[in-house]
Amino acid sequence: MKFFKINLLPVLLFISATVFAQQTPAPEQTTPVTIVGATAHIGNGEVIKNSLIILEDGKIRTITDATSTKMPYRGTVIEAQGKHVYPGFIAPNSTLGLVEIDAVKQSDDEDELGEMLPHVRSIIAYNAESQVVESMRPNGVLIGQITPRGGRISGTSSIVQFDAWNWEDAVLKENDGLHINWPNTVRRGRWWQGEEPGIKPNDDYEKDLLKLSEFIRNAKAYLAGPRTDTNLPFEAMENVFAGNKRIYIHADAEKEIIDILAFKKEHDLKNVVLVGGYDAFKVADQLKENDIPVLVGRVHETPNLEDQDYDLPYKMAHLLNEKGLLVGLETSGGMERMNSRNLPFYAGTVVAFGADKEEALKMITSNTAKILGVDDQMGTLEVGKDATLFISEGDALDMRTNKLTKAYIQGRDISLESHQTELAKRYSEKFEKQEEK
């Protein structure tokens, strides 16, 4: 019996790995790829209806109108007439790869103990083999900003691509920005402390702001001094103050956003990005004046207040875009990791509630790339940029026609299979056989 148990274990482990492991990452591109005839959505508002795209050495080498050139095809030729080509979609402010199962603490690495944690780097906890990450690719979400949570200053995010062996292979831009959770102006009654339920003013709001300001001032004083004793949180602020990292401030209420503008000016902060920004439409002019872009909170939400338009979350991004702000879409909130695959359909909802389709596409491609500071690498289908793109049978912002046939990350022909697609095929075949009977 003992012999049976010892030999059964590796068999079970092998079966488990075979069934549940992520696909092997695609190898480097060695042969050019030519995509012919597809409608190319460049990601900057332009569309080429009959395109010729050549990918080589992981880069886009050619993109032009196929009817206006006699350029010879190269390498593998993909006839894509009637299909659409898009830049890979980018999911900012995401905890993908930091949590696999919420109820299993051992798989949860999104938060660290403490309040002021600028030295915490989310990238070292990123699990490139997450099954949730794998499920993004069939919808065209190929890139993400991996972001820590918790505390007043959560730490530093990094930008990754979603087909890698480990975080070192995945990273596209390491430590791109610092994340600050702005204090809330209101709070809910804490019943466990005998308080009345409901929303009420946060009496500690000013005190919390003072703590944040004190940290900023102390960090500047430390960096200007001899630094005889190493202080890691203060050291981590050096690139922030120099403007080499973006500062992502997570806030929603109108007063909070106005206070952020004052805070930015007081401490001479550069490259500030507003994340969430539920009331941003109320102060859009001030945000534009201060050149602050917005990563708009999840589109598929209900209004916060009873007297607000039922469709306010649906049209929020369009309202800000009309005001001339640089707008991207983010997906944080309940079930955020699983719902990140719906990013293109959030953009589709923005179209349904007023936005031009190519403008909405920019909110998950070029706009987001600009906000994250990686628009020199990705976000549009342009010569010299990474060949991170996909081919869809139809409109990728519509869940009925978002059906990918090919996807490339830096020119690598990646798998579009996942545990979910395997299950879908398995049960489709089951019911097809039953119908035949």
- CATH code of the domain containing 80: 2.30.40.10
Out of 345, 362, 378, a domain closes at: 378
Q: Report the alpha-carbon angle 365-368-374, nearest 5.
A: 95
CA distance 303 to 128: 35
- For residue 366, the domain's CATH number is 3.20.20.140
CA distance 373 to 56: 24
- Same structural domain, 150 and 281: yes
- Same structural domain, 116 and 220: yes
**Cβ–Cβ under 8 Å, residues 275 and 249:** yes
- Same structural domain, 298 and 171: yes
Amino acid code (one letter) for 211 = K
Residue 292, classed as helix, strand or coil, is coil
Report if residue 2 sits inside a domain: no
CA distance 152 to 145: 19
- What's this model's pTM, rounded to 2 decimal places? 0.91
Out of 351, 378, 405, a domain closes at: 378
| Region for 291 from its dihedrals, namely left if φ exceeds 0, alpha if ψ lies in -120 to 50, beta otherwise | left
Q: Length of the chain in residues, anyone? A: 437
**Cβ–Cβ under 8 Å, residues 228 and 234:** no
Report if residue 94 sits inside a domain: yes
Amino acid code (one letter) for 366 = S
Number of domains in the chain: 2
- Same structural domain, 310 and 372: yes
- Same structural domain, 355 and 258: yes
Radius of gyration of the chain (CA): 24
Report if residue 12 sits inside a domain: no
Report if residue 14 sits inside a domain: no
Which tokens hold the place of 369? 């790339």
- Same structural domain, 111 and 34: no
- pLDDT digit string (tens) for the chain, length 437 residues: 344 444 554 444 434 444 445 678 999 999 999 999 999 999 999 999 999 999 999 999 999 999 988 889 999 999 999 999 999 999 999 999 998 888 888 888 888 999 999 999 999 999 999 999 999 999 999 999 999 999 999 999 999 999 999 999 999 999 999 999 999 998 877 777 777 777 888 889 999 999 999 999 999 999 999 988 899 999 999 999 999 999 999 999 999 999 999 999 999 999 999 999 999 999 999 999 999 999 999 999 999 888 899 999 999 999 999 999 999 999 998 888 989 999 999 999 999 999 999 999 999 999 999 999 999 999 999 999 999 999 999 999 999 999 999 999 999 999 998 888 888 888 888 887 777 76
Distance separating the N- and C-terminal Cα atoms of the chain: 44
Helices 312-322 and 343-352 pack at an angle, to 10 degrees, of 80
- Same structural domain, 48 and 161: no
Q: Which residues have a Cβ under 8 Å from the Cβ of 165 and sit 6 or more positions away?
A: 25, 128, 129
Report if residue 161 sits inside a domain: yes
- Same structural domain, 292 and 348: yes
- Same structural domain, 171 and 207: yes
- Same structural domain, 249 and 299: yes
The domain of 403 spans: 21-87+380-437
**89 strand-pairing partners:** 141
| Tokens 């922030």, residue located | 240
Q: What one-character-per-residue DSSP string does 37-62 give?
A: S-EEE-SSS-EESSEEEEEETTEEEE
A 10 A CB-CB count for 150 gives 17
Q: Where are the extended beta strands (E) located within 282-403?
A: 294-296, 327-329, 389-392
Report if residue 5 sits inside a domain: no
Residue among 73, 123, 138, 94 nearest 424 (CA):
138
Which tokens hold the place of 46? 């332009």
CA distance 92 to 397: 17
Which tokens hold the place of 115? 């309040």
- Same structural domain, 196 and 331: yes
Question: 65-74, long-range: CB within 8 Å, 24+ apart, which pairs?
Answer: 66/36, 66/37, 73/34, 73/36, 74/32, 74/34
User: Do β-strands 272-276 and 246-251 pair in parallel, antiparallel, or remain unpaired?
Assistant: parallel
Report if residue 15 sits inside a domain: no
Amino acid code (one letter) for 15 = I
Out of 328, 356, 378, a domain closes at: 378
- Same structural domain, 201 and 74: no
Report if residue 131 sits inside a domain: yes
Q: What is the layout of strands, in order, in the sheet containing 141-146?
A: 89-94, 141-146, 153-161, 171-181, 246-251, 272-276, 294-296, 327-329
